[in-house]
Structure 1
Amino acid sequence: MAQRIIYWFRNDLRLRDNEALFSAVASASEVIPVYVFDPRQFEKTKLGFRRTGAMRGQFLIQSIVDLRNRLREKGGDLLIRIGDPEKIIAQLAEDFNAEYVYTSKEIAPEETRIESSLSKKLKTVNIDIKLFWMDTLMHATALPFSIAKLPANFSAFNDSIKGSFQVKEPFAEPEKIKLPDEYEAGPVPILAQLGIDPNELDGRETRNVSLGGESVALNVLTNYVTDYLKAGKTYETTDPLTDTRLSDWLSLGCISPRYIYNEVTKSHADAYQDHAMVANLISRDYFHWTLLRYGPRLFKPSGIKHNFLQRWQNDNALYEQWTNGETTDPTVNQLMTQLKATGFLTSAERTTYANHLVNDLGINWTWGAMYFESHLMDYEVSVNWGRWNNIAGVGEVE
């Protein structure tokens, strides 16, 4: 057994069904949980708005507060820092004489670059990093094909996994977390410390904005199961994952897809084929595998299809009409107002809003994807950019 492991929280801000944390606690006498606020996530884009808007920033802060409280209930704590994670984690591992760094595996290009940089820094001081894939229902190695042979659309993907679809039981919460005797936990930052003016939150509809944290996520799922599944009611949407707003907490890993699946299937006998929530989770998996398969192509105007014939306008005036809710379409304008006030649009509303930018105005779809990244509370890189690829006609092959 190792003496000490640094556990680096990323988009897995939970204790329940956190395989990497569970393994760290089982593998070391002492575990030091760390979260690093990365200023690069709050920088302004070339279009003038922040990558992470004020509401998303506040949601993240709330989630970190909840995570720290839950860790303290287990005898642990959460060390909080601000800066480049690859530098800070490496330094902490060296300062605490850790033998390993455990963390979740990410697949987006920027996150994998950070992982690679951290790994190189750790090697110079003879510390190993162990990465855990835990953001989908199934592991990539459990798929009946290699990622290089990923089916070209979701329907084909769904058909191909039916015979091998198995989801493992969720991991339990660690019973106890032991810290070193001396450590400095650090304060939870406020928005201003992340470069965000708190006044940007003015005008939001507080009652319709989600509160961050695993504790809230578990309650929302329990209410969904009790009020709908066990009561035999139908949630009137084809995308309950988004429209119940469970996707808000899923985006930061405050709850795991596997845990949602487990709770739904315990309450619904025909879950795999017939339950929309499970279908949504499988669709989310497909977006993740698409990002893993195509990488940077997902973020280019030509999309994963490499459609270089489709031309997009980079018209700032038209784009600002869309972002300011000043188009000729009152429905689209109302949706913009709603997005800015709540950080939320239903799945159908997102399609309506995005279609107007792409198919009515002909504006570069990547601009819309960046705007959603800043404002949607449930932003996930693979899901957001995958959906925009499809709306722009540069995504799935029919």
Structure 2
Amino acid sequence: MESCVIVWFRNDLRVHDHRPLLRASAQGLPVLAVYVFDQTLYRKLPYGFPKTGRHRAQFIRESVADLRRNLIQLGVPLLVRHGAPEEVFTSISKSFNIQQVFLHEEIGSEEISVEREVRERLPHTTFTVDHGHNLYPPKDLPFNTSELPDTFSQFRKVLEKSGVPGLTEISIPASVRGVTLPSDFPEGEIPTLRELGLGELDRPPRYPGGSSKAKERLLHYIFNADRLRVYKKTRNGMLREDDSSKFSPYLANGCLSPKVVLDQIRTYEKKYGKNESTYMLYFELLWRDYFHLVHRKYGDQIFHAAGIKKARIPWHDDQELLVRWMDGTTGYPLVDAAMRELKKTGFMSNRARQNAASFFTKNLGLDWRIGAAWFESQLVDYDVASNYGNWLYIAGVGNDAVPFRAFNVEKQSLDYDSDGSYLHHWVPELRELSAPWIHQPREMGMIEQEQYGVILGEDYPLPVVDLYESMKKRKQEFAQAQKNSR
């Protein structure tokens, strides 16, 4: 039986800045790469929707296909399987003597559980784990994880005062000795969406997956289109693709290393000079690191209703309101546009997310964990720490010093989509409306409704709740919950 070492790919679908791959290539044994479409990640949740929806699944499928092409260029075969990882590794061990498994660390409890089961199936195999998802490994920070500051602002100030760590290597191994697979041991086909239990896409993917596409996007945004020059000014834009970087799908799935993004920011600064936008993009990378550290510090608390604040805030259960929110039929155009965009493309801007999540928790009063699970299912840039960390923050049970933070979705609509272009695009029944009606159609009387051909309750939904009364009620509930917890 031939001996080999394995690189186990999970949320690190690239060959650059990949220490496990570098380590494996230096062992002197043939290298086999493995990716498993873990069947549990595509199961249906108790809420009635899949844990991984079709848009995210398609992005992963394309990213794995691109990873396979990149590994082939290095001489390494990528074994692809669909099932339970522990069963897959048991099967491999019957054909190969697995000396070592190299992998990147995952800190989610589900991932840790799966890794533990694989280790139990391979008791005589050495596992070597590296940290590679963030800009700065936790061990390089000027404090222990248990000492993580309670807010991002404090974290950033401590980091900048102490001096940021240097970047480690971002190289690709020059050559790798790959395993030669037996004829009766196929590399395996990438499962179709249908085989994953999902429906087919009804439009081409908005963001094609893969490290190669990540490189194209990186070069386009920073250098070809020169958008880093204006990033701070345009990053809250919700409609135009180049208003923000759109690196997040590639960062979340490990198609792109954040170190490479920072390296390109510094290259840009050397060529064109530093500006407030180059710092702002670095600032956003720090947010990713911070939420990862929050997850590392608090563990499964980030999935609890009371959050990391252990705030026993009452969350309501209303299936009709939940469906109206998911389908984008709340009667509030900004929320509806955002939720329709998400359902049709698997993406929405950060500004839209904040408003959709605020409306969910501070107006509808629904359990934030369901909203977070819907985002997990739908978003092509789903990242466990960033997704749940942001939802904790918006829900008022996370890293926010403000007791009750709520977004006025009508004012936000006017502030960030003043001409209504985003709303017109995603809520076509309101295309004839101009400002100010497009931002608050509920204020239209019968004369205006007939004038514009939009009858509320027929052509466009009536609001599911009163914007101000619902917010007032939730604020009172928050205050009472905080009073009871003292």
- TM-score, normalization: structure 1? 0.92
Cα 1:271/1:386, change in 2 over 3 Å = farther
- The code of the aligned residue for 1:275 comes to Y
Could you tell me how far 1:73 is from its partner in structure 2?
1.4
Deviations 1:65-88 (A, max 9, x none): 111111111222211111111332
- 1:302-359: CA deviations, max 9, x gaps? 1111111x11101111111111212121221122111111111111011111111111
Structure 2 residue 131 is the aligned partner of structure 1 residue 129 = no
- Please give the per-residue CA displacement for 1:246-268, whole angstroms capped at 9, x wherever unaligned: 10111110011111111112212
| Shift of residue 166, structure 1, vs aligned partner | 1.7
Question: Which shifted more, 227-236 or 29-38?
Answer: 227-236
2:193 match: 191
Partner of 1:146: 144
1:212 alignment counterpart? 209
1:222 alignment counterpart: 219
Q: 1:307 aligns with which of 308, 311, 319?
A: 311
Change (3 A) 1:141 1:378: same
Which residue of structure 2 aligns with residue 161 of structure 1? 159
Say yes or no: does 1:286 pair with 2:290. Answer: yes
Q: Contact 1:34 / 1:78 at 8 angstroms: preserved in 2?
A: yes
Alpha-carbon spacing, 1:323–1:233, altered in 2? closer, same or farther (3 Å): closer
Aligned residue in 1 for 2:388: 385
Q: Does 1:253 align with 2:254?
A: yes
Q: Secondary structure at the match of 2:75?
A: coil
SS at match of 1:281: helix
Q: Sort the Cα spacing of 1:234 and 1:154 in 2 relative to 1 into closer, same or farther, 3 A.
A: closer
Structure 1 partner of 2:457: none
**Of 329, 333, 347, the match for 1:330:** 333
Specify the alignment match of 1:244 in structure 2: 245
Shift of residue 243, structure 1, vs aligned partner: 3.2
2:170 alignment counterpart: 171
CA contact (8 A) 1:6 1:93 kept: no
The one-letter code matched in structure 2 to 1:186 is: G
Instruction: Tell me the residue number matched to 2:97.
Output: 97
* 1:277 matched residue in structure 2: 281
Q: Secondary structure at the match of 1:371?
A: helix
Q: Which of 357, 362, 365 is residue 365 of structure 2 equivalent to?
A: 362
What do residues 151-179 of structure 1 show as CA deviations (whole Å, max 9, x unaligned)?
11101111111123123243211222322
> What is the identity, as a one-letter code, of the residue corresponding to 2:170?
F
Measured at CA, do residues 192 and 66 of structure 1 come closer, stay the same or move farther in structure 2, by a change above 3 Å? same
Q: Deviations over 1:13-50 (max 9, x none)?
A: 00111111111111233100011110111111111111
Determine helix, strand or coil for the equivalent of 2:16.
coil
Matched to 1:132, the amino acid is D
Task: Say if 2:76 and 2:179, in contact at 8 Å, map to a contact too.
Answer: no
Residue pairs, 1:16-27, within 5 angstroms: 16-27=16-27
Amino acid at match of 2:145: I
Change (3 A) 1:365 1:14: same
Name the aligned partner's letter for residue 278 of structure 1.
Y
Calculate the aligned-residue CA RMSD, in Å: 2.2
**Contact kept? 2:77, 2:179, Cα under 8 Å:** no
> Deviations 1:112-136 (Å, cap 9, x if unpaired)?
111222222222xx11111111011
Shift of 1:239: 6.8
Number of aligned pairs? 389
Q: Structure 1 CA distance, aligned partners of 2:20 and 2:276?
A: 27
Is 1:51 aligned to 2:51, yes or no? Answer: yes
Given that 1:322 and 1:333 are in contact with CA atoms closer than 8 Å, whether structure 2 keeps it comes out as yes
- Pair 156,174 (structure 1): closer, same or farther in 2 beyond 3 Å: same
Residue 177 of structure 2 aligns to which amino acid in structure 1? K
2 CA distance for matches of 1:353 and 1:230? Answer: 26
Q: Percent identity?
A: 32
Query: Matched residue of 2:233: which SS?
Result: coil
User: 2:138·2:145 contact (CA, 8 Å) conserved in 1?
Assistant: yes
Within 2, Cα distance between the matches of 1:254 and 1:171?
Answer: 13
Helix, strand or coil for the counterpart of 2:26? helix
Specify the alignment match of 1:348 in structure 2. Answer: 351
Give the gaps of 5 or more residues in structure 1.
none
Aligned partners of 1:51 and 1:370 also within 8 Å: yes
Q: C-alpha deviations, 1:270-312, integer Å up to 9, x for none?
A: 489961111011110000000010011101111111111x111
Please give the secondary structure, in 1, of the residue aligned with 2:46. coil
Q: Give the TM-score normalised by the residue count of structure 2.
A: 0.76
Change (3 A) 1:312 1:232: closer
**Given the superposition, is the C-alpha separation of residues 29 and 344 from structure 1 closer, same or farther in structure 2, using an over 3 Å criterion?**
same
Counterpart amino acid of 2:244?
Answer: D
Q: 2:179 maps to which residue?
A: 180
CA distance in 2, matches of 1:233, 1:334: 25
Whether the 8 Å contact between 2:307 and 2:392 is mirrored in structure 1 is yes
Change over 3 Å in CA distance of 1:383–1:191 after alignment to 2 = same
> Match of 2:181, SS?
coil
- Relative to structure 2, which stretch is displaced further, 340-349 or 232-241? 232-241
Cα distance between partner residues in 1 of 2:243 and 2:133: 16
